Structure 1
Amino acid sequence: MPLADPSTGAPAPYAQLALQLGVYLGHALHSSNSSENEEIPPADMSQFGFASVAEVLDLCAAFMTNSFTLSSPSLAPVGVAISPPVALFNHSCWPNAVVVFPFGGYGSKADGNCMDVVALRDLVPGEQIVTAYIDISLPSQLRQTELQTRYFFKCDCDLCAKPSTDPREMVRPRESYDGLEDWVLSGMKLLKMEQQGTLVDFDQLLSKASPMSVIGSLAYFYPPWAYPLFPLVRLVCTLLVTSLGAHPTDTDRLEDSIRCALLVSECMGLPSIYPDNHPVRALARAELGKLLLLPPPPPPLLPVPQHSPNPSDAARSVLPKNLFDLAQTKIESIPRDPIHRLVLARTVLMDALRESRVGFGKPQGGLVGLEIAGLVEGVSREIEILKTQSG
């Protein structure tokens, strides 16, 4: 195993982990009897049963290549988990199964602590069960780089072997692509900030003109399901929805949240991005359904011609124009009257429930499925009440 990336010279991830482990244990051993400014050396790993540095590296490499992201029931990463049996499943960028924690430590002891491998569809006898080790919404080159860096193999699954153009890499036909490479690099920097935890609030995107201009420029060059626009739209959607708690009366922010949620749900529904019943599709639809349950903003004071966006909508939106234009035609089809809006929300939630009961495991679909089922039941009662009141 190489100790450094041959292309960059940077230490291999498992070598970094081995060094961090030694430093951490060194601090733990000396914390009780060391002064504040004392330089503490890494621990002598022989105290922990390691005969050589190679054995420490072997442990760290085995840990990195066989560990799983420990996630909440809604797939938010919360730590790392180890399961030797689950680690035996091979990888595919187009998996027929997923690794989930459907109850995330909640529920009964038997179910709550389980790591489940769930088939996304019916499997034929003798078919190999494969899961994805990485984010399959990434384009081929980034998937291969991550697999080679962390797992030391090149993927030759059906998705990677296809000669056809990957929709994740599609670019809109434009007369000029000047500046596109710079916009892509800027977009990837924003995604890196999210991964590092330094971009956690929607107002951070508004505090400077740069982030939104990056996303708007990428929306000019790329369809919404292509990289890096797709993960950036997901990021904007997540931050917008999170911000609604602090701005409960901001109907413009709600409308922007629905615009982004519509784009995300539509892109995840494309059969070439995620397999049917993948749990992230259920979560995207559930998010959209919950947003549709919230009261819509009042209609415009002046009538707006059919198929013509209300100019005030664009003026009030915080989204960059290119992204706004992508989503506006979709939000215009959403009814504003309470009953029809709730009926649409229920339809979206029912789709989410159906996929969650597969992607998170039958029969309940984990905590996500139980939550969605409760929402469906509640909105059904509300629809009946409104129908009764309207006569």
Structure 2
Amino acid sequence: MSFAELKAARQGKSSYVTQNSSQNSQSSSAAPSQVVQQSEESLAPTESIYKAIPDFLEIRSSSGSGRGLWAKKACTPGQVLLVAKPHAAALSSEHLDTHCAQCFGSETDGGLKRCTQCQIVYYCGPTCQNLDWVIHKHECAALQRIAASGETSLPSDAIRCLARIMWKRQKLGPTSSWTREIDSLQSHNQDLKPAAYELHTHLAISLVRYLGLSSPSEIVSFGMVSGADLANFVSRFVTNTFTISDPSLMSLGASVSPPVALINHSCDPNAVVVFPRSRPDPAQEPLMQVIALREIRADEEILTAYIDTTLPRAQRQTTLLETYLFLCICPLCTSTDEVDPRESVWCPKGCGGMCPTPTEENSFSRCAKCKAVLQKTDEVLDAQRIGQQALDKATTLQLSDPEKAHQLTSNLIPILTSAGLTPSSHPLLALTRLHQALLISALRSPTQETLDETIVTASKAFSGLCAVLRYGHPVRGLARAELGKLLAVDEPSPRQPGSGSAAEEALRFPPSGVKRLRLALDTLLQARAELGVGFGVPNEGGQVGRSVREDIVKLERELGAWKKGVSEVMEDARLAAKSSSK
């Protein structure tokens, strides 16, 4: 289980932090509060070490959220705000044999080379292996020790990432800038609730065992003098860990970056953290980049989202309280709008408006547009409940039993749709996205029917994301690109022209033949523009953006050949008609 999955499993439990018990917790950075501007010279010693922070950003403190990063000048959408290589990163166990342990690049035609000693870690070549050896030599011995003990499972990415930090601390010493940045990360160890101790205790015990320590006194060599130091170290890790991902946002493992961890949270962020892999030199990867999603004014705080912001407000708040110990009071969480698309039902009168999703506490709901009262509240509540159960089960079965997962999503999506949930509402949006992923994974030799079903599902998922994520968000850009790529797939059995009336053909989705190719081209062109924002304009949309550009060129050639073919046929017909008239 990866660290991201471990945290998600704990977050899935009912909240152990009530609103009353969290009054002393940190609030979201989006809260109105007094901002104290600090120059580099006036910062505490631990705050003057972040060399990765560019001149146009500045560390400031606010009474509501503590330290954060603020823009000193206006920034534009797609601008790269911050670039930093993680201080430490570790692949999840399932990716150890498919990705390079140093640069996190995926397996290429040349294949990956396995470490001949531990035979667990892989590299894309000698350069990456040599770069990683300074830490991997310790890791290699630890992995061999684990194997010799008879253990059948590897330590998680969290344990291996923690150990990599410890070994580097040991090498660089407690006064190095690198170690001081790690030690400056915020720890919530003193604020932990009893239910959180399980995760922290598990990590601490597993780490000590993985490091091969036999007594508490041995942690001194890592710059720690007591168990309390170790507890704070683990707390800093849990609170400030980033999921490292590939350019398509697939989770690869756990990472830590103190400069990026300075950025506070908002459920309506103005920036995003991505790994676009824009550098041709693997020695420079994995590179974490913070990208502006919209115009950011001078003296505005840089804010990213720590969690999935397509979730309803209650689920977001629970996750943030459990993992980060603060109440979010960003504009999205404090909005007084009648309807949030994440929690919405279509108007019962069909006016096109939406009603807020009813709850057990408040079942009254009416359309924000025509004020029609929603009558079938029990049906909506039941659909939501079984939909969430199906989503949880299908997500668990996605890899181990994809057929069962597909059966669950296929059966539940129509139930939620018939109950009136909008495409952007939870859990319908999540089920639709999972259903799409399952369809694509099974799309090896598609029939026309399965290909069209996949395209329709991708279109619904994209529509739902557009309602809850701002333009340029990487998740939204990738969804549009995926839809465009699906539309560009060769049709197994394209419909023949004239198979339906003109009105039917105009409304049919997806279209067939050249209309489908034109729609694919238009979709990919829009996707490339959106990816340019989400993954950075200088990066041209990152690795995915470059792939989309290649698809666009292929489609333009295909459409050009089709146009040429049609013109030649028409010319031949004209000449034939002219010849027969003589």
- TM-score, normalised relative to structure 1: 0.80
Name the structure 1 match of 2:458: 261
Name the structure 2 match of 1:138: 311
1:61-72 matched pairs, under 5 angstroms: 61-72=235-246
Q: CA RMSD in A?
A: 2.9
Matched, 1:56 2:56: no
Name the structure 1 match of 2:205: 22
Consecutive unaligned residues in structure 2, runs of 5 or more: 1-14, 19-191, 349-373, 568-582
Matched, 1:298 2:491: no
- 2:474 corresponds to which of 246, 261, 279: 279
SS for the counterpart of 1:128 is coil
- 1:347 corresponds to which of 505, 522, 527: 522
Q: Deviations over 1:274-310 (max 9, x none)?
A: 111111111001100001111233338995567679x
Name the structure 1 match of 2:560: 384
Structure 1 residues 124 and 255, CA gap change in structure 2 (3 angstroms): same
AA of the residue aligned to 1:77: S
Output the CA distance in 2 between the equivalents of 1:223 and 1:12.
Answer: 35
Output the CA distance in 2 between the equivalents of 1:160 and 1:279.
Answer: 22
Name the structure 1 match of 2:254: 80
Higher relative contact order (CA 8 A, sep 6+): 2
Structure 1 residues 299 and 166, CA gap change in structure 2 (3 angstroms): same
Contact 2:425 2:464 in 1 (8 A): no
Output the CA distance in 2 between the equivalents of 1:78 and 1:116.
Answer: 16
Q: Deviations over 1:314-353 (max 9, x none)?
A: xxxxxxxxxxxxxxx97x244312x322111111001110
Contact 1:98 1:359 in 2 (8 A): yes
Name the structure 2 match of 1:218: 416
Name the structure 1 match of 2:541: 365
SS for the counterpart of 1:102 is coil
Q: In terms of Rg, which structure is larger?
A: 2
Consecutive unaligned residues in structure 1, runs of 5 or more: 31-42, 310-328
Structure 1 residues 206 and 192, CA gap change in structure 2 (3 angstroms): closer
Name the structure 2 match of 1:238: 437
Contact 1:96 1:120 in 2 (8 A): yes
Structure 1 residues 252 and 75, CA gap change in structure 2 (3 angstroms): same
Output the CA distance in 2 between the equivalents of 1:92 and 1:48.
Answer: 37
Q: Deviations over 1:48-94 (max 9, x none)?
A: 34554443332222112111110011001111111100001111111
- 1:47 corresponds to which of 207, 218, 225: 218
Structure 1 residues 59 and 197, CA gap change in structure 2 (3 angstroms): farther
Output the CA distance in 2 between the equivalents of 1:44 and 1:107.
Answer: 45
Contact 2:269 2:305 in 1 (8 A): yes
Post-superposition shift, 1:219? 1.5
1:146-225 matched pairs, under 5 angstroms: 146-164=319-337, 165-172=339-346, 173=348, 175-193=375-393, 196=396, 198=398, 202-206=402-406, 211-221=409-419, 222-225=421-424
Contact 1:14 1:60 in 2 (8 A): no
Post-superposition shift, 1:354? 0.2
AA of the residue aligned to 1:217: I
Contact 1:193 1:199 in 2 (8 A): no
Output the CA distance in 1 between the equivalents of 2:384 and 2:484.
Answer: 31
Output the CA distance in 2 between the equivalents of 1:45 and 1:188.
Answer: 44
Contact 2:273 2:304 in 1 (8 A): yes
Output the CA distance in 2 between the equivalents of 1:65 and 1:372.
Answer: 35
Contact 1:90 1:129 in 2 (8 A): yes
Q: How many residue pairs end up in the alignment?
A: 347
Contact 1:202 1:240 in 2 (8 A): no
**Higher strand content, 1 or 2:** 2
Name the structure 2 match of 1:316: none
